[in-house]
Amino acid sequence: MNYAEAIQFLFGLQMFGSKLGLDSTRRLAELAGNPERQLRFIHVAGTNGKGSTCAMLESIYRAAGLRVGLFTSPHLVSFAERIQVNRRLIPDAELVRIASDFQLLLRQFSAEDHPTFFEVVTVMAARYFAEQACDLVIWETGLGGRLDATNIVTPLASVITNVGFDHQQWLGDTLEKIAAEKAGIIKPGVPVITSAEPGRGLEVITKTAQQLDAPLTVVDQSVVNEDAIHTENLPLAGDHQRLNAVLARETVRVVGKQIPVAPDAVTAGLSNVNWPGRMQLVNTSGGQTLLLDGAHNIPSAEALVSAFKGRFVNVRPTLILGVLADKDWCPIAEILAPVANRLLLVPVSSQRTLPPEKLLPVCKAANPQAAHEICASLADALARSAKDEFVLITGSLYLVGEAIERLQLSQVPPSDERGLNEWTAAR
């Protein structure tokens, strides 16, 4: 197997769709030698901010001198972004070797119980982190928590960032149902740290923690305001990122008995965190400013608008907007459109894209004073906006990933690996 064949192997796993449940993951992990039992984890769930919080935790523990594994999804450009050690992507040769090993293991499954793409990748990541002798793994859920493949681990701490509406077809149509799925990562006696709010999932998380005798720490905006001095140098903009930073700091404090971390390592970690595609500011040689943010649901769209207005006072950008059809695209557009003086509506490079023609009437109603254009592609929109002073690209992490690739902002060469983010309904 070479690298191209390894990527095709991963693409081939998409035929098994996406499903919730742990049986196949546990069986595959057992066949792989249960690598997760050789590792220590911090398990992170939540509707928004999971990735940013994971990046902050990773940066803090790396600053403290640990060897840290980082497992996140989706990737922006390269599949290897999902599996990192000390922020170094899994090397091609290692990915090929592990994919080859797992191709053999998967022969022991029938078509009916065959693990899905995400289930396979989850165990592959655990195998790599164990081989790399990671001191700690920051472990992000893929979808929900209770039945997510990542939930085969017993972590040092369970982190739930927040609860909002997203993936309702999988997790439930109320915040209480969604919160129950995310609270499913809570384990007996294992500390829980959350920034969920009253009336938005906190009650469900609190009840679950009490039932499992799991010590609970709640971070709210008052704690953020008190802790402002520790987040003033945070590279990630917005009050929502300050909240994520305090959540990460509290997690480090709670885990401090098992893994002590000096205060200066916390400060250094937060000051140097890097997480592309989230309020990512790019200044071009031609004097143009671009801002990339993967706001893909209602809470993240609201957070983006708040952070944008706070940082760029009186700026009216050109907005390049593309969303997925299975998201709450109408309210997302209604939230984002008013910030712009020009809107370029684009398809996302995904089989789940919403045709930009459907966005047009919503954006016109939300911002009738702006100019509105439908573009054939992101490349078309970038060409049309090449002379505009400020361009905001948002609506989907998939779109932001394509922008990062087209703008040559990634350290990895161009590829067609963004398609590995696609998923289909359960069999």
Summary mean pLDDT of the chain: 93
What kind of architecture, by CATH, is found in domain 3-271?
3-Layer(aba) Sandwich (3.40)
Distances (CA, A) of 341 to 123, 245, 336, 385, 391: 47, 32, 11, 12, 10
Residue percentage of the chain with pLDDT more than 90: 81
pLDDT on residue 337: 97
pLDDT on residue 168: 65
Residue 213's pLDDT band (boundaries 50, 70, 90)? very high
Q: What are phi and psi of 319, to 5 degrees?
A: -105, 115
pLDDT digits (tens, 9 = 90+) for 91-138: 999 999 999 999 999 999 998 899 999 999 999 999 999 999 999 999
Residue pair 335/394 in contact by the 8 Å Cβ criterion: no
- Whether residue 195 has pLDDT greater than 90: yes
Residue 424's pLDDT band (boundaries 50, 70, 90)? low
CATH of span 280-409:
3.90.190.20
What is the four-CA torsion angle of 52, 81, 324, 45, rounded to 10 degrees? -40
pLDDT on residue 25: 96
Q: For the residues of 262-320, what is the DSSP string, one character each?
A: -HHHHHHHHHT---TTSSEEEE-TTS-EEEEE---SHHHHHHHHHHHHHHSTT---EEE
**Rounded distance between C-alpha atoms, residue 89 and residue 70, angstroms:** 9
Domain locations in the chain as residue ranges? 3-271, 280-409
CB-based burial, 214-227: b 16+ in 10 Å, e otherwise: bebbbbeeebbeeb
Average pLDDT rounded to a whole number, residues 190-206: 96
Give the rounded distance of the alpha carbon of 378 from its chain centre.
22
- Give the lowest-confidence range in 18-32, 50-64, 157-171, 341-355: 157-171
Sign of CA dihedral 26, 170, 111, 350: negative
Overall pTM > 0.85 = yes
pLDDT on residue 427: 40
Distances (CA, A) of 88 to 38, 80, 138, 176: 21, 9, 14, 38
pLDDT on residue 165: 75
Residue 29's pLDDT band (boundaries 50, 70, 90)? very high
**β-pairing verdict for 157-160 and 192-194:** parallel
Tokens of 235: 């590279």
pLDDT on residue 69: 98
**Rounded distance between C-alpha atoms, residue 336 and residue 321, angstroms:** 9
- Whether residue 60 has pLDDT greater than 80: yes
Residue 221's pLDDT band (boundaries 50, 70, 90)? confident
Residue 425's pLDDT band (boundaries 50, 70, 90)? very low
pLDDT digits (tens, 9 = 90+) for 335-381: 999 999 999 999 999 889 999 999 999 999 999 999 999 999 999 99
Average pLDDT rounded to a whole number, residues 138-151: 94
- Give the lowest-confidence range in 75-84, 225-234, 320-329: 225-234
pLDDT digits (tens, 9 = 90+) for 227-264: 665 667 899 988 889 999 999 999 999 999 999 999 99
Residue 77's Cβ-side half-sphere holds a number of Cα atoms within 13 Å equal to 17
Residue pair 394/323 in contact by the 8 Å Cβ criterion: no
pLDDT on residue 233: 81
